[in-house]
């Protein structure tokens, strides 16, 4: 190899290190058909227009949709810029559980939309399904259809299901089925039960959603679900919400004061360390804590696009200067194993 070839190879290696190959495990896309249906509704969840903008209303929370929420080509362009080879596609709330007797039909519509998008771009996307929760039968029927017929790689499980939590008895068969099939459950924030406490000062997105996921994950642990299903693949986004920072107190309450420990055999923190976290936090220190808490084998790169730009999250990870082998796991290797890509 001559000097020019050595220089070219060196520059290529430097560029690759600066912008490593990535798999984005949390990215959202709205169905245009679904939004059109919501525009016909008069009660939440619904969509309305104000000038050139569209707003989605869930409960009392009004959020402006971004143009890229429905634009596959815009998402692909962002992926290319960030060197993201594949992205896990899922809908954003509202989920099908908010539509009462129509929730099974809504789940089918939304899952068909994600599956159709994946079929059009099979090397760039894989899908996460959403489920109806009006009955255990419809929940499991759509689970089976989404995995076996549509080829979905995981289930997006909302932090609360129209005001109820997934650790309640009615929903417990989901965890057994996910463990049996080896299908990951991706816990994702929904319209938070803390909305009233966080709507002031516009803190619903910054705090309310995180508290909802934190409570849901804490309940899953304290209900003994991870004790009963030790091989369950459970992902908590946003670096575990607030639970990693509060888990010492939860341990003390459960194991020393004996509050709520009747369904678990070990400290809650030990179950939490068996959960996967994603990297959606635009703060390097938070990502580092997640990395140290669950280790390099249970941390997966995610962006939460289009709410967050992937390059923002990648930039925070780069600040950590992690060992290259660990960085490679976080950016892509762990996702390949978790979602069986």
For 287-317, how does the pLDDT look when each residue is reduced to its tens digit (9 = 90+)? 999 999 999 999 999 999 999 999 999 999 9
What H or E segment, with its residue span, contains residue 291? helix 284-294
Query: pLDDT of 77-87, one tens digit each?
Result: 999 999 999 99
Q: Name the average pLDDT for the chain.
A: 95
Using 50, 70 and 90 to split pLDDT, how confident is the model at 7?
very low
pLDDT at residue 164 greater than cutoff 70: yes
Residues 6 or more apart whose CB falls under 8 angstroms from that of 154 comprise 88, 128, 129, 183, 184, 185, 186, 235, 339
Contact 41, 58 (CB under 8 A): no
Q: What is the DSSP string of 67-108?
A: GGGS-HHHHHHHHHHHTEEEEEEE--SSPGGGGGGGHHHHHH
Percent of the chain with pLDDT over 90: 94
Instruction: Report pLDDT for 60.
Output: 97
Cα–Cα distance measured from residue 209 to residue 211, given in angstroms and rounded to the nearest whole number: 6
What does the DSSP 8-state code read for residue 160?
Answer: S
pLDDT of residue 131: 98
Query: How do residues 211-248 score in pLDDT, each as one tens digit?
Result: 999 999 999 999 999 999 999 999 999 999 999 999 99
| 133 token code pair | 């929760």
In the chain, % of residues over pLDDT 70: 95
**44: pLDDT confidence band, cut at 50, 70 and 90?**
very high
Residue 15 has pLDDT above 60, yes or no: no
Q: Round to whole Å and give the CA distance between 87 and 305.
A: 10
In the block, residue with structure tokens 């660990």? 326
Question: pLDDT tens digits, residue range 102-125?
Answer: 999 999 999 999 999 999 999 999
Are 190 and 157 in contact, with CB atoms under 8 Å apart? no
Model pLDDT for residues 118-149, shown as the tens digit of each residue: 999 999 999 999 999 999 999 999 999 999 99
Per residue in 246-255, pLDDT (tens digit) is 999 999 999 9
Q: Is the pLDDT of residue 9 over 60?
A: no
Please report, for the chain, the start and end positions of each structural domain, with discontinuous segments joined by +: 16-30+68-338
* pLDDT of 32 higher than 70: yes
pTM of the model: 0.94
Average pLDDT over residues 181-195: 98
- The answer, yes or no, to whether residue 16 has pLDDT greater than 80, is no
**Strands laid side by side in the 46-50 sheet:** 46-50, 53-58, 61-64
pLDDT class of 67 with cuts at 50, 70, 90: confident
Q: What is the pLDDT of residue 4?
A: 47
Token pair in block for residue 283: 């703060």
Pair 20, 331: CB distance under 8 Å:
yes
Length of the chain: 341
**pLDDT tens readout for residues 197-216:** 999 999 999 999 999 999 99
Instruction: Give which of 9, 17, 12 is closest to 314, Cα–Cα.
Output: 17
Q: Has residue 13 got a pLDDT over 60?
A: no
Contact 78, 310 (CB under 8 A): yes
Correct CATH for 16-30+68-338 of 3.40.309.10, 3.20.20.140, 3.40.50.450, 3.90.1150.10: 3.20.20.140
**Over 90: is that where the pLDDT of 34 sits?**
yes
Q: To which residue do tokens 């796991």 refer?
A: 329
Q: What is the pLDDT of residue 17?
A: 59
Interatomic CA distance for residues 89 and 29, integer angstroms: 7
Residue 6 has pLDDT above 60, yes or no: no
């Amino acid at each position: 190899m001559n000097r020019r070839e050595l220089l070219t190879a060196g520059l290529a290696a430097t560029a690759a290190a600066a912008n490593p190959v990535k798999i984005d495990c949390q990215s959202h896309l709205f169905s245009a058909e679904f939004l059109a249906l919501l525009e016909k509704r008069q009660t939440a969840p619904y969509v309305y227009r104000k000038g050139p903008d569209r707003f989605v209303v869930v409960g009392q929370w009004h959020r402006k949709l971004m143009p890229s929420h429905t634009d596959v080509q815009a998402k692909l362009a962002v992926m290319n810029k960030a060197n993201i080879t594949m992205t896990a596609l899922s809908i954003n709330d509202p989920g099908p559980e908010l539509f009462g007797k129509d929730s099974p039909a809504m789940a089918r519509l939304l899952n068909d939309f994600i599956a159709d998008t994946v079929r059009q771009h099979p090397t760039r996307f894989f899908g996460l399904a959403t489920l109806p929760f009006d009955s255990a039968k419809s929940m499991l029927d759509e689970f089976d259809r989404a995995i076996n017929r549509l080829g979905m790689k995981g289930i997006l499980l909302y932090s609360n299901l129209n005001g109820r939590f997934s650790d309640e008895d009615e929903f417990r068969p989901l965890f057994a089925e996910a463990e049996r099939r080896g299908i990951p459950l991706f816990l994702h924030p929904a319209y938070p039960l803390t909305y009233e406490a966080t709507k002031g000062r516009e803190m619903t997105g910054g705090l309310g959603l995180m508290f909802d996921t934190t409570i849901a994950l804490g309940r899953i642990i304290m209900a003994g679900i991870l004790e009963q299903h030790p091989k369950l693949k459970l992902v908590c986004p946003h670096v575990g919400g607030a639970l990693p920072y509060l888990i010492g107190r939860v341990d003390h309450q459960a194991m020393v004061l004996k509050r709520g420990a009747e369904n678990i055999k070990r400290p809650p923190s030990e179950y939490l360390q068996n959960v996967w976290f994603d990297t959606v936090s635009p703060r390097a220190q938070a990502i580092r804590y997640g990395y140290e808490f669950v280790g390099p084998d249970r941390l997966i790169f995610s962006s939460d696009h289009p709410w967050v730009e992937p390059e923002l999250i990648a930039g925070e990870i780069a600040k950590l200067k992690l060992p290259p082998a660990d960085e490679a796991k976080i950016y892509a290797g762990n996702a390949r194993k978790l979602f069986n890509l």
